[in-house]
Structure 1
């Protein structure tokens, strides 16, 4: 469900080096199937999906310039039809999440000076600016609950970046911090009661954190050198990676705050990228030098390597289906480990499945024959 994995996923996927080796128990692939090109807004060249809701509605951005520095907030309906979302008079905007009611959130520039604020879009596309903290001059929204509560980040008069919550009535609240200069609320449960994200302490170290409905913060990784949360499920369970010393290791922070270290060879770095409501996680890690492999961890933390080939797991649904990529082409693995190659656009040499919706629709990106990255999706009827 997370939208914050894609930057690391894409960067690592593009730099993986192929090193052949064998691991037992990996299922054979089905024939490749083709994605549907979601296209771009008129005049743009690139697009990307940032989130997909239970009904297959997608939001993200369409951009005219590489490396995608001019964002235009975009929505695609469940049939893949594209719509531009209104801005606030400035040049750029981006949609980061959409809830089951079709309400989207993100950010927009308020004026040509590029002052940025968090925004919310109604299902009909009408845009509303969300208030910033007193003295603040930027904010952005990351996620919205089913109850209309929005979370994100913004600065205040003190110049620090604060984790923020916008209540359903639109009022903004700064959430608790760890005495550092940065906090970001990345996820909120569907019922709006639990918020997950990241915050720095006074020494500048990054911590996975959780906030309750009162905005009280809990440090999930006290005494750890640093930790990076990657996703949170609707029970408030968070996954990511943490480092006691040396390389980061995959971890799951339970509802009660306990830390479950997920199985992985000790000498190699790894991380969990996504978690479903049963606590089953997807991600990846290195098992030989220079090559990551996609993985799934069960509720006990036991690991299943999904492929002997280089790749990553990016998202997981309630049935345990993992989506990601293998050898730079989008793939999915069902709960039994059977792999389906999801394919790329005609002439494309790279694709990546980044999100899977409750209805089985998969979204991601693919290069086209011109080498431009387009948002794509794989309807449930395909594979």
Structure 2
């Protein structure tokens, strides 16, 4: 039920729901033929069959969480109605045991856990009623082996929980793996484009820049014209920076000198480098770094990664804002957090983070964060962005922790 847009899935769903609706209608026919007197319970069952059948048929056209929740609630009412109306039928208990299994089809954790809890509470109440009040009068098949039925019920719920947990976890891993493949393909395409184009663009820019510098020094050219030359040189410099970013992406597969580095020393060194840039934007940097954090990586590339992230955070922060830089050990990983107090991002903007050529800056290229993701991936690290409009952005980095090797440890100066 995850995706009913394709013709094959929709056809399979319609056939399956057709069988379910036919069986529910056959149940009504059996009750009608066997009952001498048709009571209110039968009409309730008819109403529930109509409502549930309608929901199942409408679901492919409106796959919303509200629709899924409504289907589970009506299904629960239907199965419990059968259990109460036909106490002599033992199979109704089996249907109740399978109620959380219906929500597994939707793969919504909250909906599954909610149905599991409600089902457990209701059956606990029913078993208590049978033991203390009914005494086997209406439910002899349950009362005769109350403990056994109780154990079987909760065992079935535990089994459904295990099936859901393992299946959902596997699907999440596959989804993450698929996203990583897509990201790797984007990086590969960008790298190939960079390798093919960057050098070809750099050569003519170098020539143009050389002539502009030469003419700028020419005393015969009016001073007003030379001011235009300065503007041209600035724009050419900007173009060279973009090309350098292209080349950095193209060279991501090349491994730099890898050492065991002290994260605390590295971060303090980076903060010193970018401190003047923070002062320019009137942004205060607070550093909360735990000692004893070590990772294996290229010092130069790691500095580039942190500088890019801190620079983005400073630019995103309001004038007079505060930027928090944290680092600590968490399980077997070193976690680094960069937290700003800027305007934040929407969910759609977060999805595009790290995509080449996507940037929220007016003159940005988006290549800086692409390089950051490449560096993190190279050293088995991860970068995760969380943000909310008006509440700033948090960037969480995690790298496998390494032990301090003293003389082999490379300390950032």
TM-score range, shorter chain: under 0.3
Greater RCO (CA < 8 Å, at least 6 residues apart): 1
Normalized against structure 2, the TM-score is what? Answer: 0.22
Q: Give the structure with the larger helix fraction.
A: 2
